[in-house]
């Protein structure tokens, strides 16, 4: 287990605390808020972001047609109101606020949304998550180069009028409008092309803050209040300094020293300081899981997937290794993600535990795996992030697998997040520990991870039965859709298309001098609502 790398003497800690308290009285509205991020972002291009760190930066600096209130409810963003769709839920027509502007002072127009989403749909852009546009009219034909991106179901009717046309109603479309469908400054995209968003200088914000000082590779930058933001008068804190802090012991010590006011800490800190008033924990709308590469001979095996799944004691993993309030996975769907229309119950808990811990079964599947390979032993590598938690999980997996699987050697490789993501997409892994965070509460987002044509199905697993069950479910509505998604979940877990491990909990230290920082299953705190007390 990890211990704090730096021990602060009690006398020094008291002096720091008194110093911090003494400075509190002198705080002004212009004081910088200091926060941390777990790793560097890979991009700030909303069309191309694939990792949670990039998404975090974009979330603070961009705004879509909709956004979220301080209580995490969908509200109007640059649109004048939350609209009711027509044409059986397939047509949305928006009017943009006349005072919506870019941080460079230019007026934000309907064309800026058209520019963004057409660019994302264009296969030449190589947007890894372009599939979030899959319900848009003509998306599939555009992706297969049968139609021009200009034919996507989004049209600027005027400078302030925008229409979106879908091929089917999408239950969670409002969340997509609030969290994924961001505009792009049309002039900047034309100027920077594929380099757009590779640094603060090559991107333009339209949200409450603009990004300043990020070169594309450095580990500190600022969010500076955007005076051209339509609701700038409601933004209380003018400047936020962000520092990448990968070691959570360091993060805790920075917080204790009064150098940061919001940071993420480890499970060990939670266990040792569970009663601290400035400590806040919450479950995330996220699932951390293992992908098995089906293009690699050593991992192209259901017997291997079953063996690994059964050998893992997920309760032990969360309670003894992570120790931060994370919950053992019950299936592919995290708790709180989907509600049963008939009973009001939670899908994950109603479906029950589909991921049993059974060492005897694990060993039996391992023997089947060795028999099918025709070899008495195997060497398998596990790829993780270089974060504290991921490295601990990698060590745990290595331990239980080598202990119970005769003839197995496990090698672990921990990489910085951006390098890890690159390996995900290149397929350069055998077993891969990844995390998937959703932007909307619907089980299909997790089930799609194993679908044949999904761009983030890094496993290249392709199961005809599963694809049919999932496609059928997604084409239904109401209770029939819910029941179909449950069926898909049960089938996926029965064959272990991938192996879920746990639903993470996030532990935050938040200074009692700061208010307005609240979190939900799917959203970070929005700094535009933060204020000095």
CB proximity list for 341: less than 8 A, separation 6 or greater: 478, 479, 482
Least confident of 192-206, 246-260, 356-370: 246-260
Look at residues 231, 255, 257, 235 and name the one whose alpha carbon lies nearest to residue 245.
255
pLDDT of residue 324: 85
What class does CATH assign to 52-233+507-532? alpha beta
Domain 286-503 CATH (choose: 3.10.105.10, 3.40.630.180, 3.10.150.10, 3.30.300.30): 3.10.105.10
The string of DSSP letters for 200-233 reads GGG----SSEEEES--SS-SEEEEEE-TTSTTGG
| Contact in structure between 209 and 226 (CB atoms under 8 Å) | yes
Q: What is the pLDDT averaged over residues 221-233?
A: 98
Report the percentage of the chain scoring pLDDT > 70.
Answer: 95
pLDDT of residue 501: 98
Cite the DSSP H helix spans in 25-121. Answer: 52-61, 110-121
Largest CA distance in the chain: 72
Neighbours of 533 (CB within 10 A): 10
Cα distances (angstroms) measured from residue 18 to each of 26, 235, 257, 279, 410: 14, 29, 10, 19, 49
Least confident of 12-16, 414-418, 492-496, 498-502: 12-16
Cite the DSSP H helix spans in 62-181. Answer: 110-121, 139-143, 173-179
pLDDT tens, 387-445?
888 999 999 999 999 999 999 999 999 999 889 999 999 999 999 999 999 989 999 99
Cα distances (angstroms) measured from residue 302 to each of 299, 309, 401, 459: 9, 10, 16, 12
Average pLDDT score over the chain:
92
Q: Which two tokens stand for residue 369?
A: 């795996």
Q: Is the pLDDT of residue 267 over 50?
A: yes
Task: Classify the C-alpha dihedral 164-165-166-170 as positive or negative.
Answer: positive
Q: Is the pLDDT of residue 152 over 50?
A: yes
pLDDT of residue 28: 59
Q: How far apart are the first and last CA of the chain?
A: 37
Rounded to two decimals, what is the model's pTM? 0.81
Cα 209 to Cα 230: distance, rounded to the nearest angstrom: 11
Neighbours of 153 (CB within 10 A): 21
Cα 71 to Cα 60: distance, rounded to the nearest angstrom: 16
| Contact in structure between 33 and 239 (CB atoms under 8 Å) | yes
Cα distances (angstroms) measured from residue 428 to each of 299, 432, 474: 12, 9, 31
Look at residues 143, 96, 87, 93 and name the one whose alpha carbon lies nearest to residue 118.
143
pLDDT tens, 85-105?
999 999 999 999 999 999 999
∠ CA 191-194-198, rounded to 5°: 90
Q: What is the pLDDT averaged over residues 20-45?
A: 76
Q: Which two tokens stand for residue 397?
A: 């997996």
CB neighbour class for 462 (10 Å; exposed up to 12, middle 13-18, buried from 19): middle
Cite the DSSP H helix spans in 333-477. Answer: 347-351, 359-373, 388-404, 417-426, 444-447, 464-474
Three-state DSSP state, 89: coil
Cα 490 to Cα 362: distance, rounded to the nearest angstrom: 19
Cα distances (angstroms) measured from residue 39 to each of 33, 42, 217, 246: 18, 9, 11, 6
pLDDT of residue 454: 85
Residues making up the chain, counted from first to last: 533
Query: How do the domains of the chain map onto residue ranges?
Result: 52-233+507-532, 286-503
How does residue 29 score in pLDDT terms, banded at 50, 70 and 90? Answer: low
Q: Is the pLDDT of residue 135 over 90?
A: yes
Q: Is the pLDDT of residue 10 over 70?
A: no
pLDDT of residue 485: 98
Cα 515 to Cα 531: distance, rounded to the nearest angstrom: 5
Neighbours of 425 (CB within 10 A): 13
∠ CA 362-387-222, rounded to 5°: 150
Cite the DSSP H helix spans in 380-477. Answer: 388-404, 417-426, 444-447, 464-474
pLDDT of residue 529: 98
């Amino acid at each position: 287990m990890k211990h704090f790398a730096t021990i602060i003497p009690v006398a020094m800690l008291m002096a720091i605390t008194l110093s911090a308290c003494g400075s509190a009285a002198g705080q002004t509205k212009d004081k910088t808020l200091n926060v941390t991020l777990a790793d560097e972002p890979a991009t700030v291009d909303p069309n191309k972001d694939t990792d949670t760190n990039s998404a975090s930066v974009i979330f603070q600096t961009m705004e879509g047609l909709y956004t979220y209130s301080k209580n995490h409810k969908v509200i109007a963003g640059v649109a004048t109101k939350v609209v009711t769709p027509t044409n059986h839920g397939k047509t949305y027509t928006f009017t943009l606020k006349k005072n919506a502007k870019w941080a460079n002072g230019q007026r934000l127009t309907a064309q800026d949304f058209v520019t963004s989403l057409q660019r994302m749909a264009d296969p030449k852009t190589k947007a890894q998550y372009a599939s979030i546009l899959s319900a848009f009219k003509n998306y599939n034909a555009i992706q297969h180069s049968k139609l021009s991106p200009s034919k996507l179901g989004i049209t600027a009717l005027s400078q302030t009028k925008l229409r979106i046309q879908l091929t089917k109603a999408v239950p969670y479309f409002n969340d997509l409008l609030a969290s994924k469908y961001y505009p792009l400054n049309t002039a900047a995209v034309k100027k920077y092309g594929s380099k757009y968003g590779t640094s603060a200088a090559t991107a333009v914000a339209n949200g409450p803050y603009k990004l300043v000082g990020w070169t594309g590779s450095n580990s500190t930058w600022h969010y500076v209040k955007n005076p051209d933001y339509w609701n700038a008068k409601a933004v209380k804190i003018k400047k936020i300094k962000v520092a990448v802090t990968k070691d959570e012991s360091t993060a805790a010590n920075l917080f204790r020293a009064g150098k940061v006011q919001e940071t993420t800490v480890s499970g060990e800190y939670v266990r040792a300081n569970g009663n601290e008033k400035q400590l806040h924990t919450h479950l995330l709308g996220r699932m951390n899981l293992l992908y098995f590469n089906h293009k690699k001979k050593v991992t192209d095996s259901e017997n291997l997937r079953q063996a690994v799944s059964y050998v893992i004691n997920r309760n032990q993993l969360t309670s003894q290794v992570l120790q931060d309030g994370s919950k053992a996975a019950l299936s592919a769907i995290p708790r709180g993600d989907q509600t049963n229309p008939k009973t009001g119950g939670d899908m994950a808990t109603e479906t029950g535990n589909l991921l049993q811990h059974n060492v005897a079964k694990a060993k039996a599947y391992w023997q089947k795996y060795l028999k099918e390979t025709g070899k008495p032993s195997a060497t398998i590598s596990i790829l993780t992030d270089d974060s504290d938690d991921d490295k601990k999980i990698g060590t745990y997996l290595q331990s239980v697998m080598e202990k119970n699987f005769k003839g197995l050697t496990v090698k672990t490789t921990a990489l910085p997040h951006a390098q890890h993501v690159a390996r995900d997409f290149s397929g350069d892994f055998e077993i891969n520990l990844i995390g998937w965070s959703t932007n909307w509460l619907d089980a299909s987002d997790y089930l799609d991870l194993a679908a044949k044509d999904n761009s983030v199905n890094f496993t290249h697993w392709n199961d005809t039965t599963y694809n049919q069950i999932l496609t059928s479910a997604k084409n239904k509505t109401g209770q029939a859709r819910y029941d179909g998604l449950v069926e898909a979940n049960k089938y996926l877990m029965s064959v272990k298309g991938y192996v879920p491990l746990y639903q993470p909990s996030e532990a935050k230290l938040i200074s009692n001098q700061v208010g307005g920082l609240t979190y939900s299953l799917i959203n970070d705190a929005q700094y535009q609502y933060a204020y000095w007390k």
